[in-house]
């Protein structure tokens, strides 16, 4: 029986690569993608990295750098990235059913026992994905998910390995672990990284060799799992069918400061209508809701105001109008005049499966329930066919002066009939 071989397949500079698939003239050129609201930099092509464009930097601080180097700048286009992700994942699933889609641009695969060995399969995966989707990927292989992650990072760092690195076949694993900064280990973030650095623990190797009790005390059992995984003992299983989400949220920073309760209510109505559509798409009902608002600091130097409120519908629901009126009520208790609001959001809680719901005698369906259900189904069907905001509740407003900025969004090449790429002859 072969030793377990987890692979982590990770798309290189995913969002930037997606933009380039449909803009071939950008091949070899620096490309960056901005966060929602065109706020900060969330993806960079290799060329942009080489020019020193920093990850996470506010976009307005980089304008000069963008102009000087002719960097192509895009607003984020999640319709495009989501669709490209689905294509990559479908390609990966041809290789093994033992696969976990871990994020929009990453998947774990169990390559144990496949013909030719894990590394050979990984090279085939790489070639196939780039040929079928245009997206380049790197593959890290290891006996645990944490080591596969680490190997993936190393594969990206060392171009000479051809985008595939197998931890188990590495000639000097201790040296490899010693070369990885401790805060780059999967599961160890900035805070714990700083705490460890303060104690002279700087590398993955040094962390691996710490006393277990110390790790448990300072980093909880999750830290212990990470440590065991670095030692080669698998603690984190492949999750082929991720469990239903426990919360769903929709929130946005505004394109400009919002000062009135009416505008806040409109924005919240829009977020509710988005998150309710997600809820129905997953076949879930919400039994609670949290609404929150955040302001900018004001001129007097008062710290920003942040408020949140809970509300619950009479019975678990996925009905947009019910949820909107709930959010509007919650806002009533939350709103303070005289502030400039920066952001608001809605979180749906206590999610349960619609199918599994047992109706009690007390919450027998109201007469309008069946009509509501048909209305929501019709709304979702129209929006699925014609685009996300074709139909929206009037409470969301029409002009949306607070809407987020997206000045450089590329077309939704793959998901919108009006934005298909056009091929020209000759």
Partner DNA sequence: TCTGGGGTCCTAGGACCC
- Residues with catalytic annotation? 106
Question: Which span (67-75, 167-175, 218-226, 354-362) binds DNA, by CB under 7 A?
Answer: 218-226
Binding residue for DNA (CB under 7 A) from 222, 287, 322, 406? 222
Contact positions with DNA (CB under 7 A) in 16-45: 35-37, 39-40, 42
Question: Which span (21-29, 45-53, 162-170, 214-222) binds DNA, by CB under 7 A?
Answer: 214-222
CA angle 420, 425, 426 (to 5 degrees): 140
Binding residue for DNA (CB under 7 A) from 310, 365, 401, 407? 310
Residue 6 interacting with DNA (CB under 7 A): no
Residue 102 interacting with DNA (CB under 7 A): yes
Closest separation in Å from C-beta 317 to DNA: 17
Binding residue for DNA (CB under 7 A) from 278, 400, 408, 409? 278
Measure the CA–CA gap between 229 and 142, rounded to whole angstroms.
10
Binding residue for DNA (CB under 7 A) from 126, 145, 342, 412? 342
- The answer to whether the CB of 71 falls within 8 A of the CB of 51 is yes
Residue 60 interacting with DNA (CB under 7 A): yes
Which residues are paired to 344 by β-bridges?
252, 293
Closest separation in Å from C-beta 7 to DNA: 15
Please, how many CA atoms are within 13 Å of residue 122, restricted to the half-sphere of its CB?
A: 32
Best CA proximity match to 55, nearest among 69, 47, 44: 44
Residue 306 interacting with DNA (CB under 7 A): no
Measure the CA–CA gap between 257 and 343, rounded to whole angstroms.
8
- The answer to whether the CB of 55 falls within 8 A of the CB of 80 is no
Binding residue for DNA (CB under 7 A) from 30, 143, 193, 397? 193
Nearest CB to DNA, comparing residues 37 and 114: 37
Which residues are paired to 348 by β-bridges?
248, 289
Residue 249 interacting with DNA (CB under 7 A): yes
Nearest CB to DNA, comparing residues 71 and 148: 148
Residue 65 interacting with DNA (CB under 7 A): no
Total residues binding DNA (CB under 7 A): 47
- The answer to whether the CB of 248 falls within 8 A of the CB of 354 is no
Contact positions with DNA (CB under 7 A) in 122-141: none
Question: Which span (161-169, 180-188, 203-211, 319-327) binds DNA, by CB under 7 A?
Answer: 180-188
Residue 386 interacting with DNA (CB under 7 A): no
Residue 343 interacting with DNA (CB under 7 A): yes
Residue 404 interacting with DNA (CB under 7 A): yes
Nearest CB to DNA, comparing residues 73 and 248: 248
Strand order in the sheet with 288-295: 248-258, 341-349, 288-295, 306-311
Best CA proximity match to 395, nearest among 346, 356, 353, 361: 346
Reading the block at residue 233, the tokens are 């003992």
Measure the CA–CA gap between 328 and 330, rounded to whole angstroms.
5
Binding residue for DNA (CB under 7 A) from 245, 332, 333, 421? 245
Cα–Cα distances in angstroms (integers) from residue 104 to residues 13, 18, 91, 158, 379, in the given order: 12, 12, 14, 24, 27
Residue 332 interacting with DNA (CB under 7 A): no
Reading the block at residue 321, the tokens are 């109008």
Measure the CA–CA gap between 413 and 419, rounded to whole angstroms.
5
Reading the block at residue 118, the tokens are 């894990």
Measure the CA–CA gap between 184 and 156, rounded to whole angstroms.
13
Closest separation in Å from C-beta 420 to DNA: 26
Measure the CA–CA gap between 75 and 403, rounded to whole angstroms.
14
Site residues, DNA (CB under 7 A):
35-37, 39-40, 42, 56, 58, 60, 102-106, 149, 185-193, 220-222, 243, 245-253, 257, 274, 278, 296, 310, 342-343, 345, 347, 404
């Amino acid at each position: 029986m072969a030793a377990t071989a987890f692979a982590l397949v990770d798309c290189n500079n995913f969002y930037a690569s997606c933009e380039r698939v449909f803009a071939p003239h950008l091949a070899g050129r620096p490309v960056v993608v901005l966060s929602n609201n065109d706020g900060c930099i969330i993806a960079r092509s290799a060329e942009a990295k080489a020019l020193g464009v920093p990850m996470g930097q506010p976009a307005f601080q980089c304008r000069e750098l963008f102009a000087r180097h002719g960097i192509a700048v895009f607003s984020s286009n999640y319709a495009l990235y989501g669709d490209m992700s689905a294509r990559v994942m479908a390609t990966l699933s041809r290789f093994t059913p033992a696969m976990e889609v871990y994020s929009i641009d990453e998947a774990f695969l169990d390559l144990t026992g496949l013909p030719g060995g894990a590394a050979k399969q990984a090279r085939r995966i790489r070639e196939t994905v780039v040929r079928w989707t245009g997206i380049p990927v790197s593959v890290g292989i290891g006996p645990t998910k944490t080591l596969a992650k680490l190997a993936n990072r190393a594969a990206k760092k060392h171009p000479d390995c051809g985008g595939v690195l197998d931890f188990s076949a590495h000639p000097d694993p201790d040296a490899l672990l010693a070369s990885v900064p401790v805060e780059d280990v999967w599961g160890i973030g900035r805070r714990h990284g700083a705490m460890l650095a303060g104690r002279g623990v700087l590398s993955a190797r040094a962390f691996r060799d710490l006393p277990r009790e110390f790790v448990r005390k300072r980093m909880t059992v999750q830290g212990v799992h990470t440590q065991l995984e670095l030692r080669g003992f698998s603690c984190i299983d492949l999750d082929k069918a991720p469990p239903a989400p426990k919360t769903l949220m929709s929130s946005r920073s505004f394109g400009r400061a919002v000062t009135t309760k009416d505008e806040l209510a409109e924005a919240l109505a829009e977020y509710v209508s988005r998150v309710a559509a997600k809820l129905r798409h997953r076949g879930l009902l919400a039994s609670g809701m949290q609404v929150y608002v955040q302001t900018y600091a004001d001129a007097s130097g008062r710290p920003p105001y942040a408020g949140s409120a809970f509300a619950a519908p009479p019975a678990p629901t996925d009905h947009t109008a019910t949820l909107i009126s709930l959010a509007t009520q919650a806002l009533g208790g939350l709103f303070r005049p005289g502030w400039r609001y920066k952001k608001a959001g809605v979180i749906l809680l206590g999610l349960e499966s619609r199918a599994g719901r047992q109706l009690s005698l007390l919450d027998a369906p109201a007469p309008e329930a069946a009509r509501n259900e048909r209305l929501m189904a019709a709304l979702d069907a129209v929006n699925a066919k014609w685009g996300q905001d074709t139909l929206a509740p009037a409470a969301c407003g029409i002009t949306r002066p607070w809407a987020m900025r997206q000045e450089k969004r590329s077309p939704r090449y793959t998901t919108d009939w009006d934005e298909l790429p056009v091929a020209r002859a000759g």
